[in-house]
Structure 1
Amino acid sequence: MSTPIHIPAILLSIPRSPLTAIGLPLAFGLLSGSTTAKAVKGQWYQNLLVPPGRPPRQVFPIVWPLLYISMGYVSHLAVKALDVAVSPTSRSDLSISVLLYYAQLGLNVLWSPLFFMAKEPGWALIDSVLLTGLTFYMTSLLDGPTGSKTTPFLLPYCAWLTFATYLNAGIWFLNRRRPNVRKED
């Protein structure tokens, strides 16, 4: 028999309402991305070499809010499933998934400051790889206990994170030895 995983009450209460479940990642995403619009117009970002396939910058403010809405709704579905789960395995998977949700949200929020403010594509890449791995794992853990209800909401997020990690890796790789790419703007 598995040991129950303790989740602080606040982490369960926030996603109980769909409004707060969706609002939390949207608010954190807005906070994290607030400096991004200025940074992408700055000299540092404009001078970076980028890998093939980077979409126009106008795509990002459309895609990310949709992904934040999806991930927030998934947190709501996960907590609702946890409320009614009877099986110890399901309860464990759901509990771990709720903790992973908050961990991936934290990593998600951290990425923009690492990349755009600190101008550290290498550290941002480490964050992105961890974020992507946690999100794939969370997606797989949630699938069974939620009757696959969460998977359609998380698969686009997993795909986007994979693509974003490719872009981040390409930027890091292409610029890692370029002394003319300075951090000052």
Structure 2
Amino acid sequence: MSTFNLPPFLLNTARIPAVAVGLPLVAGWLSGSQTYKVIDGRWYRSLVFPPLYPPRAAFPIAWTTLYFGMGWASHVAAQAVVAGRPGAELGLGLYYAQLGMNLAWSPLFFTYKQTGWALLDIAALTATNFYMTSILHEATDGWTSYALVPYCAWLSYATYLNASLWWLNKDRHVPKYD
């Protein structure tokens, strides 16, 4: 029996496939809705970018795919909770925790232009995802790993990008306002 008790409304949210997939898609869109305005502004354009920085068009494609996958993984995890699989409830709880950290990153980085705080957030987000993925891998017989392993890989890459942007720009006077 699990010692972690997930609030019933979080379990019920993930049990409905359309809601499980729709939640991260809509929340991610809302969280990142100011991004386009900021990346066209003076602050973002003045940053020094690291090697291996992807084209701008890669981000919405990657995030839409990843949000869809993580929503699907939450639904599979919810089914494992209902089936009484060990670790599934903790894994689903970690899913919601990582979703909160994920949604905090865009405002930290783009709206408040706090690249250092965003780096702390994404580092915790990445670590949480690796832990969640390993727990849910066992609890779902590997089914969630199809969606979560690519997410872990992208988060590792995104952590590199955030760390590089912080490092390359930490001693520069970068205008915070457009």
The one-letter code sitting in structure 2 at the alignment partner of 1:136 is F
TM-score, normalized by length of structure 2? 0.97
C-alpha RMSD of matched pairs (Å): 1.0
For residues 28-79 of structure 1, give each alpha carbon's deviation from its aligned partner in whole angstroms, at most 9, with x where no partner exists.
Answer: 1000110001111111000001110111111111110100000000000001
Q: Which runs of 5+ in 1 are unaligned?
A: none
Q: CA deviation at 1:7?
A: 1.0
Q: 1:175 & 1:5 partners in 2: Cα distance? A: 41
Matching residue of 1:132 = 126
Aligned residues: 178
Q: Distance in 2 between matches of 1:47 and 1:144?
A: 45
Q: What is the aligned partner in structure 2 of residue 30 from structure 1? A: 29
Aligned residue for 1:182?
Answer: 175
The whole-number CA distance in structure 1 between the counterparts of 2:136 and 2:160 is 25
**Runs (4+) off by over 4 Å:** none
Within 2, Cα distance between the matches of 1:138 and 1:122? 24
**How far has the Cα of 1:85 moved from its partner?**
2.2
Identity across aligned pairs (percent)? 49
Residues 1:102 and 2:101 aligned together: no
Q: Aligned partner of 1:27: which letter?
A: V
User: Residue 144 of structure 1 is aligned with which of 127, 138, 142?
Assistant: 138
Q: Where does 1:67-106 land on structure 2 (aligned, <5 Å)?
A: 67-85=66-84, 90=86, 93-106=87-100
TM-score, normalization by structure 1? 0.94
Q: CA deviation at 1:157?
A: 0.4
Unaligned runs of at least 5 residues, structure 2: none
